Chain A
């Protein structure tokens, strides 16, 4: 009893292959939550360019004078990587919404025995919505 052995991290993420549906749902929910928080800050940064824009500040974009806000948006949207990130953002947001609804039902104590199925359903639905959104987001990017 004086000595005992602590197996450390091997017990946790070292065993990710053995995780069950509820565990994956939790990990994805945390991950998508942090991604959305990160997005919120960049979103605010982009939106805040409208403050100098309202004061009449302009930039030159492809030879024409546009206001700062429009210039920023158009420049970002012309980048392929931004278009792809937008698809990712949609996927993350949709999963967070659907799993959030699932967690709402869990909190209300409704259908707890099919919590794994509702997780798979939200994954599949997220995939379907993401695939369907690709033409909209990628159009004109190439």
Chain B
């Protein structure tokens, strides 16, 4: 409507003035008045639009993967573009929430705590597995491509099927299971400071599945436990309170064919982990433990 550049109006004005001076029949006068009126209304609207543009001046362009097998027109995957007003400190998850609330309520993604603890909003953002709530938009180049996690099947939009990941996690018994418990029911099971430091990073896992999704080996070998499950195994196998026989059992689980030896040290998992867990380091240590357990020269 009001996209005419301002100088165009200035060019027109003198010509209109000449017309007025030569002959001013009432009908034409009325038309001229109407024209002037419209021009002023246009100018006003333009000013309003300018104001609005000034108010939401910084916008960010996000491209979001869309797919919905249940609706005929959406079965072919596509990317939707959203322009989201940028605020300082805005995260990828904030942008998605804005796009869903303001533009398209059918946009589907998992999220919960928004503080990198629940582990439900891992996405593939600009080619990396990241937590939506922990990734600042200001760190990313426009347009920000947001896709579901690779190597997991897409259920809808950004929601992937996590069942396989959870199966691998459960396979290593991801819970504290000591050989002996103290006699008194309320007695503490104490851990040394050194031992706590050793397992500290591995306890930070939030089951987001970013590492599992980044792992090339897990993508090709469906039975491979994957970095998250191996990290869980490390967390408990290295815990002194569990005792030797449980540790041996745990090592037997992880040293199987599709266990720790599938790791090819590509460091993809370590690079993407949103909780900065040194996954490769833990897997390598489990490898050494497995070798030590089996090598007997005496």
Binds B, one of A14-22, A52-60, A81-89: A14-22
Tell yes or no: A124 within 8 A of B by CB.
Answer: no
Task: Known contacts A6-B153, A112-B280; decide if A20 and B271 are in contact (CB<8 Å).
Answer: yes
- Cβ of B19 to closest chain A Cβ, rounded Å: 62
Instruction: State which of A2, A22, A113 has its C-beta within 8 Å of the C-beta of B266.
Output: A22
Q: Decide yes or no whether B86 CB sits under 8 A from chain A.
A: no
**Count the A-B residue pairs with Cβ separation under 8 angstroms: how many?**
71
A74 within 8 A of B: no
Complexed CA–CA distance, A15 and B216 (Å):
12
Within 143-183 of B, Cβ neighbours of A (below 8 Å) are at 150-151, 153-155, 161
Interchain CB contact under 8 A, B267 and A20 = yes
Output the nearest chain A residue to B154 by Cβ-Cβ distance. A5
Q: Is the CB of B155 within 8 A of A1?
A: yes
B219 contacts A11, CB within 8 Å?
Answer: yes
Contacts of A11 in B (CB 8 A): 150-151, 219
| A121 contacts the other chain (CB 8 A) | no
Contact between chains at A18 and B128 (CB < 8 Å):
yes
Contacting pair B267 A22 (CB below 8 A): yes
Chain B residues lying within 8 Å of A4, measured Cβ to Cβ, are 69, 153-155, 161
Interface residues on A, range: 20 to 34
Q: Is the CB of A112 within 8 A of B219?
A: no
Contact with B along A95-113 (1 / 0, CB 8 A): 0000000010011110011
Compute how far the CA of A15 lies from the CA of B129 in the bound complex, rounded to whole angstroms. Answer: 13
Interface flag for A115 (CB, 8 Å) = yes
CB–CB B281/A22 < 8 A: no
Question: With the chains together, A107 CA to B216 CA distance in Å?
Answer: 19
Chain B residues with CB below 8 A from A113, complex form: 278
Please give, as numbers and ranges, the residues of chain A lying within 8 Å of B70 by CB-CB distance. 3
The residues of A that contact B151 with a CB separation of less than 8 Å are: 11
Contact B155–A20 (Cβ < 8 Å): no
A62 at the B interface (CB under 8 A): no
Contact of B219 with A12 in the complex, beta carbons under 8 Å: yes
A18 to B128, CA, bound (A): 8
Let me know if A26 is at the binding interface, CB within 8 A.
yes
Kindly list chain A residues whose C-beta atoms are within 8 Å of the C-beta of B271. 20, 22
Asked if residues A112 and B278 are in contact (CB atoms below 8 Å), the reply is: yes
Most central of A5, A23, A103 by chain B CB within 10 Å: A5
Interface string of B280-298 (1 = CB under 8 A from A): 1100110110000000000
Which 5 A-B residue pairings sit nearest by Cβ, starting from the closest?
A22-B267, A3-B69, A18-B127, A4-B153, A11-B150
Cβ contacts A to B, 28 pairs, < 8 Å: A2-B69, A3-B70, A4-B69, A4-B155, A5-B69, A5-B77, A5-B153, A7-B77, A7-B150, A7-B154, A11-B219, A15-B127, A17-B127, A18-B127, A18-B128, A20-B271, A22-B265, A22-B266, A22-B268, A22-B270, A23-B267, A23-B268, A26-B265, A106-B265, A107-B287, A109-B285, A112-B278, A115-B267
Measured CB to CB, the residues of A under 8 A from B are: 1-7, 11-12, 15, 17-18, 20-23, 25-26, 103, 106-109, 112-113, 115-116
